[in-house]
Amino acid sequence: MKISILAGGPTSYLPPLVDVPMDGHIWVGVDRGVFTLLEKGMEPHVAFGDFDSVSLREWQLISSRVEEVNRYRPEKDETDLELALNWAVEQDPEDITIYGATGGRLDHFMGNVQLLLKDDLKGISVRLVDSLNEMYIKRPGEHGVETNPRYTYISFVPISPIVQGLTLSGFKYPLTNRNIYWGSTLCISNELIQSHGTFSFSDGIIMVIRSNDAS
């Protein structure tokens, strides 16, 4: 089972959601993202939010069309997206993809990026995806990466104060056993030069960002 979550970020940042396979797939809507899914003819399995960003007419549509709606007071300790992610993790899926979590307010964006660092993700792969980027977190070990026509560039950003022993193989700019520190831009805008590459490191946390330029 795969779970996709659509948050309420600007729709101009969304990739074509109709390209997402539906078999064995669960859609979760968050706040205005629920209405966006319905507008696109897609039925969310479950919805989360305080729904302060939808009109009365839009809320009536949501409440009549979605079987399970979890509505919360605006005053709460978690964001709507965190509540949806917590639910998704409890379903023990293969992976979770989050859309509608970039663009707009920077505080929302930074909070959404922080969700990738939650301790209780149980090893589930979680990605933030928009029309030009995908980002995810990796911890120590060796990891493979494949070429993808959607993404030309791949960057490695240290999330911990130091990432130790970073090695990049199969890249335009290879690296061998290099320590990368907070504030370093050494690993920005690299590219794969073959169909498959690997990156490995011995300690720390790294954010992988795959990107393309706006067309």
137 φ, ψ to 5°? -105, 140
Query: Is residue 12 within 8 Å of 31, Cβ to Cβ?
Result: no
With bands split at pLDDT 50, 70 and 90, how would you rate the model's confidence at 21?
Answer: low
Q: How many domains would you assign to the chain? A: 2
Domain with 145 in it: 137-211
In tens, the pLDDT along 149-192 reads 999 999 999 999 999 999 999 999 999 999 999 999 999 999 99
Based on the fold, state whether residues 10 and 67 are members of the same structural domain.
Answer: yes
CATH number, domain of 109, equals: 3.40.50.10240
- Crossing angle for the helix pair 106-115 and 80-90, to the nearest 10 degrees: 20
Last residue of one domain, picked from the residues 131, 148, 170: 131
Based on the fold, state whether residues 15 and 109 are members of the same structural domain.
Answer: yes
Query: Is residue 181 within 8 Å of 137, Cβ to Cβ?
Result: no
Average pLDDT over residues 102-114: 93
Based on the fold, state whether residues 127 and 51 are members of the same structural domain.
Answer: yes
Based on the fold, state whether residues 178 and 81 are members of the same structural domain.
Answer: no
Last residue of one domain, picked from the residues 83, 102, 131: 131
Based on the fold, state whether residues 151 and 45 are members of the same structural domain.
Answer: no
Query: Is residue 141 within 8 Å of 206, Cβ to Cβ?
Result: no
Whether the pLDDT of residue 19 is over 90: the answer is no
CA distance 167 to 6: 34
